[in-house]
């Protein structure tokens, strides 16, 4: 395949339809990580225009939301797996509800959290077949949801925050140049 051929392929090890959407999730993540390959700790933690939502906070939030949808909404668990829980020691929102995380984590730590969460997500999705993909999970008093919709939402969610992250990073770097 040529580098100029743009197509969606299925991740191996999944039914075709599921694998194609998981490939899309992975594509959004590849683009995010590529755009952050030289990010510094300072850039991760610098608020822009008085907003507490930093790049680091958005990365923490992306991982937290992916984990929440997987564990609590798709697999209807009451708590996180023991290997995932330590990655979320701090709240993901401050007292006023803004996306937040404590400053000071290295880029590598943020990237490792994203990798651990994604590995967990992809591993657990191996148990979902085409029938289960569209089976509704009911969260009493909240909503009904399918794994298919969850993956769609996570693609949309991360792509949205990727745009915010790149805007913040671009603004910070332009300010540095002045």
Cα–Cα distance for residue pair 62/13, rounded to 1 Å: 25
pLDDT in tens, 99-139: 999 899 999 999 999 999 999 999 999 999 999 999 999 98
Residues 11-38, mean pLDDT to the nearest whole number:
97
CA gyration radius, the chain: 17
Residues 54-79, mean pLDDT to the nearest whole number:
95
Q: Which long-range contacts (CB under 8 A, 24 or more apart) does 125-129 make?
A: 125/14, 125/18, 125/22, 125/151, 126/13, 126/14, 128/18, 129/15
Residues 162-173, mean pLDDT to the nearest whole number:
96
The closest alpha carbon to 170, from 27, 72, 48, 7, belongs to 48
Whether residue 25 is predicted with pLDDT greater than 90 in this model: the reply is yes
Domains of the chain plus CATH, in order, are 40-170 (1.20.120.450)
Whether residue 2 is predicted with pLDDT greater than 70 in this model: the reply is no
Are the C-beta atoms of 131 and 1 separated by less than 8 Å?
no
Q: State the pTM of this model.
A: 0.94
Which alpha helices (H) appear in 69-146, and where do they start and end? 107-125, 130-133
Q: Pick 50 or 95 by higher pLDDT.
A: 95
């Amino acid at each position: 395949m040529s580098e100029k051929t743009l197509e969606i392929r299925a991740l191996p090890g999944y039914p075709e339809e599921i694998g194609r959407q998981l490939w899309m999730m992975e594509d959004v993540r590849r683009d995010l990580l590529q755009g952050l390959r030289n990010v510094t700790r300072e850039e991760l933690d610098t608020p822009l225009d008085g907003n507490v939502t930093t790049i680091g906070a958005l990365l923490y939030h992306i991982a937290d939301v992916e984990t929440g949808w997987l564990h609590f909404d798709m697999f209807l668990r009451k708590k996180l797996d023991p290997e995932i829980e330590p990655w979320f020691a701090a709240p993901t929102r401050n007292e006023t509800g803004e996306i937040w995380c404590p400053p000071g984590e290295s880029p590598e730590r943020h990237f490792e959290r994203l990798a651990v969460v994604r590995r967990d997500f992809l591993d657990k999705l191996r148990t979902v077949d085409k029938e289960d993909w569209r089976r509704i999970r009911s969260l009493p008093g909240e909503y009904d949801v399918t794994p298919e919709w969850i993956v769609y939402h996570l693609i949309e969610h991360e792509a949205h925050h990727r745009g915010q992250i790149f805007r913040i990073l671009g603004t910070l770097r332009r300010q540095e140049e002045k």
